[in-house]
């Protein structure tokens, strides 16, 4: 009995891992050269950007009560467009820029958290509205014309440093490892899981539910901002709305990796695997030469099938 | 009399109705006599599709579900309609096929949510990709137009006032009809508590399918109206509507947890949202900050209406005096 | 007309809820179904009405094989039950709730006939003299009226078999009389009546026969005339009732007052309640559902806002449960689903919830700890949902006892666990009391209160009624009869 239960925890991770390997093989078959290190590491680099954004999404979903952060893409776009501008194009200015942006992002996340937790508003609506506010702010501040100089150190993110592995991948590994430690080993993280499982029970046990939840939303905005920097560094230029699709991608990735929308169960490693899976899929479909429409539709179908395997609610008849 | 007044105030759509009337009043004070037929026909032409889509969405929300594939589905219907129109199909045929497409897409959502019991938000996330993908596949870049007779009728009938209004009335009447049937009661029941509804012998799956299919039908109606008004095919024509519709429903007193609300509230909320957007476009001078202002106003409206509705529910709860003679 | 249950078995995971259940129900008699917690009463009711499926066995109704695959099928066959957890929908009106299972429509169309439904609802409400509540919201009704609406909802479906599952614990005597009258009328009409209750006096006054279940097994069916309460209890519990230890009662006035709640305002009733607890004292709290006892206990734990208490001579200002926990208070809830277990987490995480996270003292040897608390489990890394209900509750309780609590507030902590496990919990409480701590325990089981209060060296039972403590019983006055009477507002 106990063996089965333990396996369930890793079932999602295993599925994502196996599917990723299958996709690499399929890619190589459909387009010889796909499995070359350079190509794979490029895909990994793109996935690394998403993985950092996923960190926050996992925290928010774990906090429970159908927690979801729909402002991830908007915060990413904001950081991607305004971050370089704040740094003035210099590497030294980059540090100043990151500090300012991360602080601002945290404040935004906390505002989200307060609206959601203290005023008891649905997280979907609050973060959607906040996303729109941030998007609007970004357009307003950049006067619709982004594209300032990007610091050289940021541009190095997309460059291979060890073998073919890009710098962004290492940055992501460090960030994920750090946040993994906090989520699974720290008192905050352990309390967050309990809060997500059973709000009343957590409160009764003496856990300060409000602070845990609000902090989770703050963290989500911070990781989104960091992901935004990584994105603009990798892409090399800033475009309006460049990260908006990352909201849905981050949700899809963490759900594929086994994080439950209902709360109390989440995996950062799963989020990373989900991100890798999604970008592998996209790359294969692009490599095969499918047009946009077919590619998006197939991605949707694959997502639906994976969700079918992972995210079903319990039966009503016992 | 007092009881009926209290009942009216406790109606979930009350707050959004007040908000709507406030907007009407403010606009009248700021620019008297603004409410001309031209104004209304412009307003309904622009915001009518959002209002109709909101009514559909609210049915899904009342049933305890969620639908973020709204925008993508409308884009798909738009593309289908324009493609068929350009192929020379008659107006009735194109309309019927488009409406059917909406129902089928809605049923797809309903089956995955109801039968396979996948969380609604995730299901509709995936189906939004699917609908969007199919739409882009059919029409990779915006082009085309609808039948000329339809455009003429839409802009011409009753000075352009009749057609958008007709679409809206169609949506409202459909809702009122549904609410008065057993199905309507079932949808409220499953939104409140699926287990209790099941234990009461209610066909939970049927009610779920129906709510999503009905929403799909209304999205198709909205899409047809939007396509004709904008007279063009574009897969992403309604992408921005998803988020606005959800906000409008919440403003209208439809709770995201299900079981509470009235599609009329969503309707009032959407009209209010239309006024909000219009007001911002006129007030905010710098075009660069309109989105920002819109977002702020939406958040304030959502916060305000939710808190006011909660306050009303709490203060006007008629706790029964317990004086038992044992 | 007969309803024959033959060898019906039902398992939930590894938990055997029903094992070869077998009995025959006949029309023309009111049958009682009794058994302790976890005996299978609700399970067989759910199977009979189609809410749950059986794993094996056969059911014959009126000569035909009966196998309802959904509540709809059960209702079409005429087998209806009232739900112990209320199947009412608060967003619908009283009339809509009553008629929900067979809504009236205009002719053959699908359109609702609201007037006809309201008329039907009114007639039913008139039968129990509650016509005035027809336009009220469900959430505005007090507990007894909610259960009455649940009962009328069953009646509205014109049942051939009616199963009444534990509604009397929320009803006043006048309501119970009304329900009895209706059940007798149904009995005369030939309806099969199955009456589930843990109040044994009702079994003897209202029912002709009784079927006894114990831990999923069917013990037998008897005439109530041939039994007395002791005999029935011994069938239900499988033990001789004389096994209970009755402690020497200490003189109450000797002990120091450890807790003075001051005037606690109850949110719903808006009454002020004041309680003092002594060192080493057990206070059992009785009363019908919704009389304010739950609110009171939660207020003491700062769940209804900040509260000022005097504890061990100190003035305490508790703003939230966290403060209470840090002061050495514990709150054990019997409602595992909503307040107890963290379902997605492991046994060890559930056990450590308070000590490791709040009090910063992780449990050293989790396996030894769990064994000490009598938990039957595989590995402490397993999900808590792999345990049976009773064992889950033991983990929840041990989460608190490890924290060395000085004041234990318990709300029906033994809900859903078997007699032996209950005894273990009571023994554990006695140990805590002997160290000078205090226990305030709500229980909906009057017999459990009597037994426990008598077991502890220093104990009393208080009774809540309409937001006030209307009676306090000590020593020999702690009896089920006194408690029942006070619960109904009748004090001698």
Interface of C with B in 428-487 (CB under 8 A): 466
What is the DSSP track for A233-301?
HHHSS--TTTTTTHHHHHHHHHHHTT--TTSS---HHHHHHHHHHHHHHHHHHHHTT--HHHHHHHHHH
Shortest CB distance from A129 goes to which of B132, B288, B299?
A: B299
Question: How far away is chain B from the Cα of C153, in angstroms, using its nearest Cα?
Answer: 9
User: C264 and C225, same structural domain?
Assistant: no
> Which of B116 and C236 is assigned the larger pLDDT?
B116
**Nearest-CA distance from A72 to chain B in Å?**
15
Q: Is the dihedral of CA B52, B56, B62, B65 positive or negative?
A: negative
Q: C-chain residues within 8 Å CB-CB of B196?
A: 86-89
Query: Taking residues A236-258, what's their average pLDDT?
Result: 90
Q: Does the CA dihedral A204-A205-A208-A214 come out positive or negative?
A: negative
Contact A101, A225 (CB under 8 A): yes
Beta pairing partners, C472 = C462
* Residues of C in Cβ contact (< 8 Å) with B319: 140, 268
Q: Measure the CA–CA gap between A265 and A257, rounded to whole angstroms.
A: 11
Residues C197, C284, single domain; the answer is no
Indicate the pairing of strand A165-166 with strand C314-318: unpaired
pLDDT above 90: residue B260: yes
Are both C398 and C274 inside the same structural domain?
yes
Whichever domain contains C468, its CATH number is 3.40.50.300
The answer to whether C176 touches C128, Cβ cutoff 8 Å, is no
Burial call C427-441: b when 16+ CB within 10 Å, e when fewer: ebbbebbeeebbbbb
Nearest to A201 among C324, C325, C341 (CB): C341
B 2-61 residues with CB < 8 A to A: none
Residue C55 touches partner A, C-beta closer than 8 Å: no
Kind of pairing between the strands at C161-165 and C79-82: parallel
Looking at chain A, which residue has its C-alpha nearest residue C51?
A317
For residue C332, give how far its alpha carbon lies from the nearest alpha carbon of chain A (Å): 9
Domain for residue C335, yes or no?
yes
pLDDT, tens digit (0-9, with 9 covering 90-100), for C189-225: 999 999 998 778 888 999 999 999 987 889 999 998 8
C-chain CB neighbours of A318 within 8 Å are 12, 46, 51-53
The residue count of chain C comes to: 492
DSSP string covering B186-236: HHHHHHH-HHHHHHTT--HHHHHHHHHHHHHHHHHHHHHHHHHHHTSB-TT
Q: Does C139 lie in the same domain as C8?
A: yes
A64 inside domain? yes
* Residues of chain A positioned with their CB less than 8 A from the CB of C386: 1-2, 5
Give C 356-375 residues with CB within 8 A of chain A: 356-359
Q: Does C112 sit within 8 Å of B182, measured CB to CB?
A: yes
Of C78 and C255, the one with more pLDDT: C78
Residue C427 lies in a domain: yes
Reading the block at residue C443, the tokens are: 């229980």
Q: What is the 3-state secondary structure (H, E, C) of chain C?
A: CEEEEEEEEEEECCEEEEEEEEEEEECCCEEEEECCCCCCHHHHHHHHHCCCCCCEEEEEECCEECCCCCHHHHHHHCEEEECCCCCCCCCCEHHHHHHHHHCCECCCCCEECHHHHHHHHHHHHHHCCCHHHHHCEHHHCCHHHHHHHHHHHHHCCCCCEEEEECCHHHCCHHHHHHHHHHHHHHHHHCCEEEEECCCHHHHHHHCCEEEEEECCEEEEEEEHHHCCHHHHHHHHHCCCHHHCCCCCCCCHHHCCEEEECCCEECCCCCCEECCEEECCCEEEEECCCCCCHHHHHHHHCCCCCCEEEEECCEEEEECCHHHHHHCCEEEEECCHHHHHCCCCCEHHHHHHCCCCCCCCCCCCCHHHHHHHCCCCCCCCCCEHHHCCHHHHHHHHHHHHHCCCCCEEEEECCCCCCCHHHHHHHHHHHHHHHHCCCEEEEECCCHHHHHHHHHHCCCEEEEEEECCEEEEEEEHHHCCHHHHHHHHCCCCC
Q: Which chains touch B (3 or more CB pairs under 8 A)?
A: A, C
Same domain, C163 and C259: no
For B:204-263, CB contacts with A below 8 A are: 204, 235, 243, 246-247, 250, 256-257
The answer to whether the CB atoms of B133 and A115 lie below 8 A apart is no
- SS3 at position A134: helix
pLDDT > 90? residue C269? no
Residue C221, beta-bridge partner list: C211
Kindly tell me if the per-residue pLDDT of C178 is higher than 90: yes
Q: Give me the residue label for tokens 């159908």.
A: A66
Last residue of a domain, one of C240, C262, C278: C240
Q: Which of B131, B194, B291 sits opposite A132 (nearest CB)?
A: B291
Structural domains in chain B, sorted by start: 10-29+37-314 (1.10.3470)
Q: Nearest CA to CA, how far is C337 from chain A (Å)? A: 8
Establish if C218 belongs to a structural domain: yes
Q: Is residue C42 part of a domain?
A: yes
Residues in chain A within 8 Å Cβ distance of C325: 205-206
**Does the beta carbon of C117 lie under 8 angstroms from any beta carbon of chain A?**
no
User: B4, B10, B196, B206: best mutation site toward chain C, by most C Cβ within 10 Å?
Assistant: B196
Tell me if chain C has a CB within 8 Å of the CB of A1: yes
Confidence of residue A282 (pLDDT cuts 50, 70, 90): very high
Tokens of A312: 């079903």
pLDDT at A2: 45
Looking at the structure, tell me whether residues C331 and C415 fall in a common domain.
Answer: yes
Distance in Å from the first CA to the final CA of chain C: 45
Give how many domains chain C has, as a whole number: 2
Chain A's closest residue to B67, CA to CA, is A124
Rounded-to-integer distance, Cα B91 and Cα B93, Å: 5
pLDDT tens digits, A2-59: 445 455 667 778 888 898 999 999 888 888 888 888 889 999 999 999 999 999 999 9
Global ipTM: 0.91
Question: What is the rounded average pLDDT for all residues in chain C?
Answer: 86
Looking at the structure, tell me whether residues C185 and C232 fall in a common domain: yes
Q: What is the pLDDT of residues B127-184, one digit of tens each?
A: 999 999 999 999 999 988 888 888 888 888 877 788 889 999 999 999 999 999 999 9
- For residues C115 and C169, state if they share a domain: yes
pLDDT of residue B71: 96
B215 has pLDDT over 70? yes
Q: Last residue of a domain, which of C240, C262, C288? A: C240
Assess whether C182 and C330 both reside in one domain. no
What's the pLDDT at A1?
43
Closest CA of chain A from C71, distance in Å? 9
For β-strands C459-465 and C282-286, DSSP reports them as parallel
Residue C439 has pLDDT above 60, yes or no: yes
Could you tell me if C173 and C265 lie in one domain?
A: no
C261 closest CA partner among C228, C304, C229, C221: C304
> Within 10 Å of residue C23's Cβ, how many Cβ atoms?
20
Closest-approach residue (CA) in chain B for A139: B288
Residue A219 placed within a domain: yes
Mean pLDDT of the A73-82 span: 94
* Pairwise CB contact (< 8 Å): B298 & A312: no
CA dihedral C249, C252, C256, C260 (to 10 degrees): 120
Q: Left if phi > 0, otherwise alpha if psi is -120 to 50, otherwise beta: which for B66? A: beta
Say if C492 falls within a structural domain: no
3-state helix, strand, coil in chain B (%, to 5): 75, 0, 25
Span B66-76, pLDDT tens digits = 999 999 999 99
- The alpha-carbon gap from C69 to the nearest alpha carbon of chain A, in Å, equals 9
Contact B320 C145 (CB under 8 A): yes
Enumerate the β-bridge partners of residue C465: C468
Q: What percent of chain B has pLDDT over 90?
A: 68
Chain segment C127-172, per-residue pLDDT in tens? 999 998 998 889 888 888 999 999 999 999 999 999 999 888 778 8
Question: For B137, which of A122, A293, A304 is closest by C-beta distance?
Answer: A293
Going by pLDDT thresholds of 50, 70 and 90, the confidence category of residue B323 is very low
Of C329, C333, C350, the residue nearest C405 (C-alpha): C329
pLDDT of the residue at C252: 55
Confidence of residue C248 (pLDDT cuts 50, 70, 90): low
* A42/B131 Cα distance (integer angstroms): 29
A97/A87 Cα distance (integer angstroms): 5
- Specify the length of chain B in residues: 326
Domain boundary among C223, C240, C257: C240
- pLDDT score recorded for residue C427: 83
- C70 has a chain A CB within 8 A of its CB: yes
Instruction: Tell if the CB–CB gap between B291 and A124 is shorter than 8 Å.
Output: no
d(CA A274, nearest CA chain B) in Å: 15
Give the CA count within 13 Å in the CB-facing half-sphere of C459: 29
* pLDDT of residue B194 exceeding 50: yes
- The whole-number average pLDDT for the span C325-344 is 89
Residue A148 reports pLDDT greater than 50: yes
Residue A237 placed within a domain: yes
Task: Tell me which chain A residues have a C-beta less than 8 angstroms from the C-beta of C334.
Answer: none
Q: Which of B176, B185, B262, B310 to mutate to test the interface with C (most CBs of C within 10 A)?
A: B185
Tell me the residue range of the domain where C53 lies: 2-240
Residues from chain B contacting residue A296 (CB–CB below 8 Å): 129-130, 132-133, 136
d(CA B107, CA A226): 40
Interchain proximity B133–A128, CB inside 8 Å: no
Q: How confident is the model at residue C243 (pLDDT cuts 50, 70, 90)?
A: very low
Mean pLDDT, rounded, for C61-75: 93
Give the CA angle between residues B315, B321, B324 to the nearest 5°: 160
pLDDT, mean of residues C263-272: 85
Residue A297 has pLDDT above 80, yes or no: yes
The pLDDT confidence band at residue B326, using thresholds 50, 70 and 90, is very low
Q: How far apart are CA C133 and CA C97, in angstroms?
A: 12
Which among A6, A203, A264 has the least Cβ separation from residue C344?
Answer: A264
A197 touches chain C (CB under 8 A): yes
Domain coverage including residue A217 = 51-284
Q: How far is B241 from chain C, CA to nearest CA, in Å?
A: 29
Least confident of A150-154, C161-165, C343-347: A150-154
Asked if the model's pLDDT at residue A296 lies above 60, the reply is: yes
Chain A contact present for B306, CB below 8 A: yes
pLDDT band, very low/low/confident/very high, at C490 (cuts 50, 70, 90): low
pLDDT of residue B290: 87
Would an 8 Å CB–CB cutoff place B125 in contact with chain A?
yes
pLDDT at B64: 95
- A234-248, B283-297, C79-93, C360-374: least confident range: C360-374
Q: Are residues C271 and C296 in the same domain?
A: yes
Nearest to B326 among C86, C91, C173 (CB): C173
Dig out the tokens for C422 from the structure. 């209950």
Total structural domains within chain A: 1
pLDDT at A163 over 90: no
With respect to residue C347, please indicate whether it lies within any of the assigned structural domains.
yes
Q: How much is the CA Rg of chain A, to the nearest whole Å?
A: 19
C359: confidence class by pLDDT, cuts 50, 70, 90: confident
A65 backbone φψ class: left, alpha, beta (φ>0; ψ -120 to 50): left
Query: Of C339, C322, C324, whose CA–CA distance to C261 is shortest?
Result: C324
How far apart CA B37 and CA B47 sit, in angstroms, is: 15
Say whether C333 and A204 touch across the interface (CB within 8 A): yes
Residues of C in contact with B197 (CB under 8 A): 89
Q: Which phi and psi (to 5°) does residue B193 adopt?
A: -160, 105
Chain C: nearest CA to A1, how far in angstroms?
8
Residue at C483 is within a domain:
yes
* Number of residues in chain A: 318
Average pLDDT of every residue of chain A: 90
Average pLDDT over residues A175-204: 93
When pLDDT is averaged across residues B35-47 and rounded to a whole number, the result is 88
Q: Do residues C300 and C210 both lie within one domain?
A: no
Question: Average of pLDDT values for C301-322?
Answer: 91
Contacts of A38 (CB under 8 A, 6+ apart): A160, A164
Q: Which residues from chain B sit within 8 angstroms of residue C95, using beta carbons?
A: none
């Amino acid at each position: 009995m106990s063996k089965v239960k333990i396996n369930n925890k890793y079932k999602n991770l295993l599925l994502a891992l196996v599917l990723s390997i299958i996709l690499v093989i399929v890619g190589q078959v459909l387009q010889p050269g796909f499995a070359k290190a350079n190509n794979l590491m490029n895909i990994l680099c793109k996935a690394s950007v998403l993985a950092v954004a996923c960190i926050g999404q996992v925290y928010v979903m774990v906090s429970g009560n159908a927690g979801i952060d729909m402002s991830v893409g908007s915060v990413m776009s904001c950081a991607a467009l305004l971050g370089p501008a704040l740094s003035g194009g210099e590497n030294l200015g980059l540090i100043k820029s990151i500090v300012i942006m991360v602080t601002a992002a945290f404040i935004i996340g906390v505002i989200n958290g307060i609206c959601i937790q203290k005023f008891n508003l649905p997280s979907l609506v609050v973060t959607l509205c906040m996303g729109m506010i941030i998007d609007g702010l970004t357009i307003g501040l950049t006067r619709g014309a982004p594209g300032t100089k990007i610091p050289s150190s940021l541009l190095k993110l997309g460059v291979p440093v060890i073998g073919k592995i890009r710098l962004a991948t290492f940055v992501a590994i460090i960030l994920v490892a750090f946040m993994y430690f906090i989520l699974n080993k720290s008192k905050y993280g352990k309390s967050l899981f309990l809060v997500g499982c059973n709000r009343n029970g957590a409160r009764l046990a003496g856990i300060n539910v409000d602070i845990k939840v609000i902090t989770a939303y703050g963290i989500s905005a911070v990781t989104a901002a960091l992901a935004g920097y990584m994105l603009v560094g990798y892409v090399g230029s800033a475009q309006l709305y460049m990260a908006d699709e990352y909201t849905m991608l981050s949700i899809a990735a963490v759900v594929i990796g086994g994080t439950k929308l209902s709360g109390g169960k989440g995996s950062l490693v799963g989020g990373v695997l989900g991100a890798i899976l999604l970008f592998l899929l996209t790359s294969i479909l692009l490599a095969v030469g499918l047009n946009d429409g077919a590619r998006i539709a197939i991605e949707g179908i694959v997502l639906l099938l994976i969700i079918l395997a992972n995210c079903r609610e319990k039966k009503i008849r016992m | 009399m007092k009881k009926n007044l209290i009942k009216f105030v406790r109606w979930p759509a009350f707050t959004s109705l007040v908000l709507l009337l406030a907007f009407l009043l403010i606009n009248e004070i700021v620019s008297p006599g603004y409410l001309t037929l031209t104004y209304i026909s412009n307003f309904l032409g622009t915001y009518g599709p959002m209002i109709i889509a909101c009514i559909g969405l609210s049915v899904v929300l009342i049933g305890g579900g969620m639908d973020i594939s709204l925008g993508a589905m409308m884009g798909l219907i738009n593309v289908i309609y324009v493609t068929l129109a350009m192929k020379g199909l008659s107006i009735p045929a194109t309309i019927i096929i488009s409406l059917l497409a909406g129902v089928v897409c809605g049923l797809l959502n309903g089956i995955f949510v109801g039968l396979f019991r996948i969380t609604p938000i995730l299901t509709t996330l995936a189906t939004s990709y699917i609908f969007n993908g199919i739409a882009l596949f059919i029409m990779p870049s915006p082009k085309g137009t609808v039948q000329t007779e339809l455009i003429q009728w839409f802009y011409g009938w009753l000075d352009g006032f009749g057609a958008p209004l007709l679409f809206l009335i169609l949506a409202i009447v459909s809702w009122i009809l549904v609410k008065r049937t057993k199905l309507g009661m079932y949808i409220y029941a499953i939104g409140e508590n699926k287990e209790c509804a099941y234990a009461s012998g209610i066909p939970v799956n049927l009610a779920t399918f129906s709510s999503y299919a009905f929403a799909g039908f209304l999205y198709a109606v909205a899409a047809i109206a939007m396509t004709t008004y904008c007279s063009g095919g574009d897969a992403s024509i309604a992408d921005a509507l998803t988020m606005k519709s959800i906000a409008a429903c919440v403003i209208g007193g439809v709770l995201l947890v299900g079981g509470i609300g009235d599609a009329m509230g969503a309707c009032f909320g959407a009209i209010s949202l239309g006024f909000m957007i219009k007001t911002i476009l006129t007030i905010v001078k710098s075009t660069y900050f309109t989105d920002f202002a819109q977002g702020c106003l939406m958040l304030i409206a959502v916060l305000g209406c939710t808190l006011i509705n909660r306050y009303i529910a709490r203060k006007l709860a008629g706790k029964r005096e317990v004086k038992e003679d044992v | 007309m007969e309803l024959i249950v033959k060898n019906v078995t039902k398992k939930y995971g590894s938990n055997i809820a029903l094992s070869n259940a077998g009995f025959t129900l006949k029309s023309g008699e009111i049958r009682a179904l009794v058994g302790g917690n976890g005996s299978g009463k609700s399970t067989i009711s759910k199977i009979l009405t189609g809410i749950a499926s059986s794993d094996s066995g056969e059911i014959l109704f009126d000569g035909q094989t009966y196998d309802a695959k959904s509540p709809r099928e059960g209702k079409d066959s005429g087998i209806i039950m009232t739900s112990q957890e209320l199947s009412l929908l608060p967003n619908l009106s009283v009339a809509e709730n009553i008629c929900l299972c067979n809504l009236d429509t205009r002719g053959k169309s699908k359109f609702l006939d609201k007037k006809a439904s309201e008329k039907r609802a009114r007639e039913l409400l008139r039968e129990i003299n509650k016509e005035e509540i027809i336009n009220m919201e469900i959430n505005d009704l007090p507990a007894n009226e909610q259960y009455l609406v649940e009962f009328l909802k069953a009646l509205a479906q014109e049942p051939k078999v009616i199963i009444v599952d534990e509604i009397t614990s929320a009803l006043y005597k006048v309501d119970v009389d009304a329900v009895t009258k209706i059940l007798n009328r149904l009995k005369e009409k030939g309806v099969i009546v199955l009456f589930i209750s843990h109040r044994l006096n009702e079994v003897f006054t209202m029912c002709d026969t009784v079927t006894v279940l114990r831990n999923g097994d069917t013990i037998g069916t008897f005439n109530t005339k041939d039994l007395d309460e002791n005999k029935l209890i011994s069938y239900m519990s499988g033990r001789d009732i004389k096994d209970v230890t009755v402690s020497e009662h200490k003189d109450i006035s000797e002990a120091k007052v450890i807790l003075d709640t001051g005037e606690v305002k109850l949110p719903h009733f808006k009454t002020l309640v004041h309680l003092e607890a002594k060192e080493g004292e057990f206070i059992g709290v009785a009363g019908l559902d919704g009389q304010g006892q739950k609110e009171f206990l939660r207020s003491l734990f700062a769940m209804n806002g900040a509260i000022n208490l005097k504890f061990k001579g100190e003035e305490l200002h508790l703003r939230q449960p966290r403060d209470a926990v840090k002061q050495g208070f514990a709150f054990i809830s019997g409602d595992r689903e909503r307040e107890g277990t963290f379902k997605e987490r492991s046994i060890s995480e559930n056990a450590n919830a308070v000590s490791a996270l709040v009090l910063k003292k992780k449990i050293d040897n989790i396996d030894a700890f769990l064994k000490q608390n009598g938990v039957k489990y595989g590995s402490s890394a397993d999900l808590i949902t792999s345990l049976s209900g009773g064992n889950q509750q033991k983990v929840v309780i041990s989460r608190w006892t490890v924290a060395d609590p000085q004041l234990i507030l318990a709300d029906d902590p033994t809900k859903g666990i078997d007699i032996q496990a209950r005894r273990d919990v009571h023994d554990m409480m006695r140990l805590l009391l002997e160290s000078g701590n205090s226990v305030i325990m709500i229980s909906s089981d009057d017999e459990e209160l009597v037994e426990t209060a008598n077991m502890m060296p220093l104990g009393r039972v208080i009774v809540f009624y309409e937001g006030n403590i209307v009676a306090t019983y000590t020593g020999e006055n702690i009896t089920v009869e006194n408690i029942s009477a006070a619960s109904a507002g009748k004090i001698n």
